[in-house]
Amino acid sequence: MVFQARFIVLLPLATSLLAQVLSPVNPAPGLIVKGFANGSSSKPMMTSDRIVVRFKDAVDGDALRAAVETVGLQLVDRGLSGAFEVLRCAPSMTEAWVQWLNAQECVDYAERDPLAHTQVTPTDPLWAPYQWNFYNQGALSNSRVSNYGIRAEAAWTTTTGTGAVVAVVDTGVAYETNGVFIPAPDLVGTTFVFPFDAVVEDGHPNDENGHGTHVTGTIAQRTNNGIGVAGIAHTCKIMPVRVLDASGTGSLTVVANGITWAADHGAHVINMSLGGTSGSTTLQAAVVYASGRGVVICSATGNTGRTGLGYPAAYTQCIAVGATRFDGTKPRYGTSGTGIDVSAPGGDTGVDQNGDGFGDGILQNTFGSSATPATFNYYFFQGTSMATPHVAAVAALVKAAHPTYTAAQIRSAIETSCTDRGTVGYDTTYGAGIVNAQLAITR
């Protein structure tokens, strides 16, 4: 092969060189409430044809340029004080050259050349003060450094979720005008598809609790609309599926029907911010069915504060999601144990670590449990219920960035890109770590 021949030529040349040289508009947030537990950019994250290489010893630029040109590479730039070399190659060969260079003893490292973009800062007025859970590493939340957000802002330079469909299997969503129900003001403009109420078996899954609307906001709250807050995958489509009643409870058979509906109607991702202490054959069969249909299933581990995952999170087909606080630690309510896969911000309304005057919950637009389904405000909720939609939304971003990815590939992208917490590598407190939207879409 030509590719192998080029390697054979470059190796002795490189070795020789090194040997020689080497609702109301802008409302304030609502009460601190404890809960349960414009278009997509096509900007790439990496250049397609540039490789950054650092040799272990200094290399003469002219000699290196002549050597690499013989194998179809170009030396196009050099770091100050010889810090690195930048090579250009055919785009189709970039990854292969990176792998080969990294295998050479004379090379300290080789990597694709990342791109920098202007940051996409939402116009939503409550973004900057309060949505620390979405922030990039090192961003300021009320003058306090936030290092444990999911880096959604950085991911938005590549995708905002267009093309992905996320089913919210929950208490329903405030998404339509229907009798006493009206849409949540900050969800107006979000696209909803194939709605289903599995509780009464009709096509109007209106929220009578507020939980499902809050969860939906984290995934796809309308963003850059000049009011309220932002959502992570804010141009994805939402499939509202009601399986829990006004009290936030429901039988596992109804949940199973909701899962099956979502799988049969084109959902790429299912979010289940719900769970129980025991499973059932019927529920597991529905999860297995959806997984077999290529759906990424994200489920809350529970809010017991003890070891042992709830169901359906305990099923291996689900991405089991734990919760973290502003400081990246597990809150007291967090459930841990074998089988937890990843973590995401779930908040802790009992502390104010960023000093903004509110408990550090997850802020979204919904109605309070004691209010009517037509009285909306912005509420801080906490729980693994709030953590799970972060992961579902990141799955939607990965799907949008890589439309041909299978569910297994999307899951791998999420789990291999997490910001590590706790014991190095996987542990039963944080799983693989806190989800990282910026890196997941590059996997």
211 is catalytic: yes
Catalytic-role residue among 113, 124, 170, 207: 170
Helix (H) or strand (E) holding 366: strand 362-366
Angle 61-69/2-21 helices, nearest 10 degrees? 170
Whole-number Å distance between alpha carbons of 282 and 273? 19
Straight-line distance from the first to the last Cα atom of the chain, in angstroms, rounded to the nearest whole number: 28
Q: Is 333 helix (H, G, I), strand (E, B) or coil?
A: coil
124 is catalytic: no
In which residue are the tokens 């429901």 written?
250
1, 83, 178 from 191: Cα distances, Å: 50, 48, 17
Phi and psi at residue 254, in whole multiples of 5°? -70, -40
Whole-number Å distance between alpha carbons of 269 and 206? 20
385 is catalytic: yes
Catalytic-role residue among 146, 299, 385, 417: 385
193 half-sphere exposure, CB direction, 13 A CA radius: 18
7, 112, 347, 414 from 47: Cα distances, Å: 22, 7, 36, 22
SS (H, E, C) 57-103: CCCCHHHHHHHHHCCCCEEEEECHHHCCEEEECCHHHHHHHHHHHHC
Catalytic-role residue among 211, 214, 268, 390: 211
Catalytic sites, residue numbers = 170, 211, 385
